[in-house]
Amino acid sequence: MTVLQLEAEVTDTGELRLELPTPLPPGRARITIEIPAEECLSSEEIKELMTVEPLSGAKIVEAGLTGGWADQGITDANAWVQERRRRRREKRSW
């Protein structure tokens, strides 16, 4: 395993910006974020940031997070599932 240490910046919007040396081979990489002690958050601040508050049904609709099948051209979910099962059976048959 090769270890690279790079300097990066976390923006106000939570994006991580860094420049990778080239050429790097394609594939997976493990990223470790080390925050200088003077900039560290308290455990309470980290806990607050990691807390997920679920959206209400109204807010989900308001945000446009509905219609997962519609954007894939699926009008009948049952027919779609049956077709997928049929294809899988054909693929696995002798």
- The number of folded domains in the chain is 1
Structure tokens at 39: 């900039």
Q: Is residue 40 situated within a structural domain? A: yes
Q: 2: closest CA among 20, 18, 17, 16?
A: 20
**pTM (2 d.p.):** 0.34
Q: Is residue 19 situated within a structural domain? A: yes
Q: Is residue 79 situated within a structural domain? A: yes
pLDDT (tens digit per residue) in 27-39: 888 888 877 776 7
pLDDT (tens digit per residue) in 56-85: 999 988 988 877 776 778 888 899 999 999
Range of the domain at 19: 8-92
Q: Is residue 58 situated within a structural domain? A: yes
Q: How many CB atoms lie within 10 A of CB 10?
A: 13
- Which amino acid type is present at position 2? T
- Contact of 20 with 29, CB cutoff 8 Å: no
Q: Is residue 3 situated within a structural domain? A: no
